[in-house]
């Protein structure tokens, strides 16, 4: 019994499976076909992401990468996904965690929403309500669906957000970076850079308001002093006239 169970680690075989060369050639050819097709039709890539994830899982399980004299599955991914292996692992996760959703409906939902569904499926496990979440994925715009997932995972409502672009000169970057790092130290490293920037701006506005208050107060004091001086000067002039 010990000898048999020791051949498995986390559901995967410790020993190499017998290489099915014929099937390996078919699957590797399918992967290359889909990747080439993606490059030619980037705007339609969502159509085959489900199929690609399924094939990648089979390559890992059957160790088909050995057919190309590669040392590991990671080396296979580096070869097929030179820009980012993360995408490949997302594709495989879609195949592994969203098994209760028909492939046709996953294709309709699209790649980006499917990656959000993975987060819910992992969190909820056997309690994952795939019908409800599939309906939300179909009905909600991408950003709204992403906020719904975030709310479900954290229990907090998330605000709508947007990315703001503006130009900084290289000479300005050290000051900005130092300000953000200092704010992060004061507020906590878990705070986002956007939140740190907001607090820096809020502190500036508070300081500006305080300076304006002081300026108005100083103006009032100068005005009162000026009035006192005028009144005093008038009194001295009246006394002089009386003396004359």
Q: Is residue 19 predicted with pLDDT exceeding 90?
A: no
| The two structure tokens encoding residue 209 | 């308001």
Residue-level length of the chain? 244
List, in sequence order, every residue forming a beta bridge with 219; answer none if it has no partner: none
Written in H, E and C, the secondary structure of 129-194 is CHHHHHHHHHHCCHHHHHHHHHHHHHCCCCCCCCCCCCCCCCCCHHHHHHHHHHHHHHHCCCCCHH
**Better-predicted residue by pLDDT, 181 or 210:** 181
Select, from the ranges 12-16, 38-42, 186-190, the one with the highest average predicted confidence (pLDDT). 186-190
- The structure's pTM equals 0.51
Q: Is residue 157 predicted with pLDDT exceeding 60?
A: yes
C-beta atoms surrounding 55 within 10 Å: 22
> Coil, helix or strand for 13?
strand
Phi, psi of 175 (to 5 degrees): -65, -45
Distance, first Cα to last Cα, the chain:
127
Rounded Cα–Cα distance for residues 135 and 207 (Å): 49
Q: What pLDDT is attached to residue 207?
A: 82
State the pLDDT confidence band at 217, using cuts at 50, 70 and 90: low
Q: What pLDDT is attached to residue 132?
A: 92
Cβ–Cβ under 8 Å, residues 122 and 94: no
Q: Angle at CA 116, nearest 5°, toward 120 and 127?
A: 15
Q: Is residue 243 predicted with pLDDT exceeding 50?
A: no
Mean pLDDT for the chain overall: 78
Which residue reads 């390559």 in tokens?
59
List, in sequence order, every residue forming a beta bridge with 8; answer none if it has no partner: 13
Q: Is residue 220 predicted with pLDDT exceeding 90?
A: no
pLDDT per position as a tens digit, 46-104 = 568 888 999 999 999 999 999 999 999 999 999 988 878 888 898 899 999 998 888 88
Radius of gyration for the alpha carbons in the chain, expressed in angstroms and rounded: 33
Nearest to residue 97, comparing CAs of 69, 62, 130, 55? 130
> Quick one: angle between helices 142-154 and 111-124, nearest 10?
10
The mean pLDDT of 164-170, rounded to a whole number, is 84
State the pLDDT confidence band at 156, using cuts at 50, 70 and 90: confident
Q: What pLDDT is attached to residue 86?
A: 86
> Coil, helix or strand for 48?
helix
38's enclosing H/E stretch is: helix 21-40
């Amino acid at each position: 019994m010990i000898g048999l169970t020791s051949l498995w680690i986390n559901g995967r075989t410790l020993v190499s499976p017998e290489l099915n060369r014929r099937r390996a050639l078919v699957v590797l050819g399918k992967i290359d076909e889909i990747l080439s097709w993606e490059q030619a039709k980037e705007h339609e890539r969502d159509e085959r992401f489900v199929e690609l994830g399924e094939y990648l899982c089979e390559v890992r399980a059957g160790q088909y990468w050995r057919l190309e004299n590669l040392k590991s599955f990671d080396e296979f991914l580096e070869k097929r996904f030179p820009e980012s292996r993360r995408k490949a692992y997302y594709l495989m996760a879609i195949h592994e965690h969203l098994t209760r959703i028909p492939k046709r409906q996953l294709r309709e939902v699209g790649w980006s929403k499917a990656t959000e569904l993975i987060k819910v499926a992992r969190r909820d496990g056997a309690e994952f309500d795939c019908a409800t979440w599939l309906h939300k994925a179909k009905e909600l715009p991408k950003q709204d669906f992403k906020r719904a997932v975030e709310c479900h995972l954290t229990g907090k409502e998330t605000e709508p957000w947007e990315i703001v672009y503006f130009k900084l000169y290289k000479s300005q970057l050290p000051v900005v970076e130092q300000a953000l790092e200092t704010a992060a130290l004061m507020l906590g490293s878990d705070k986002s850079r956007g939140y740190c920037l907001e607090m820096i701006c809020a502190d500036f506005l508070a300081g500006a308001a305080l300076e304006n208050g002081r300026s108005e107060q100083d103006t009032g004091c100068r005005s009162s002093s000026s009035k006192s001086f005028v009144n005093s000067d008038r009194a001295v002039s009246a006394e002089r006239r009386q003396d004359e």
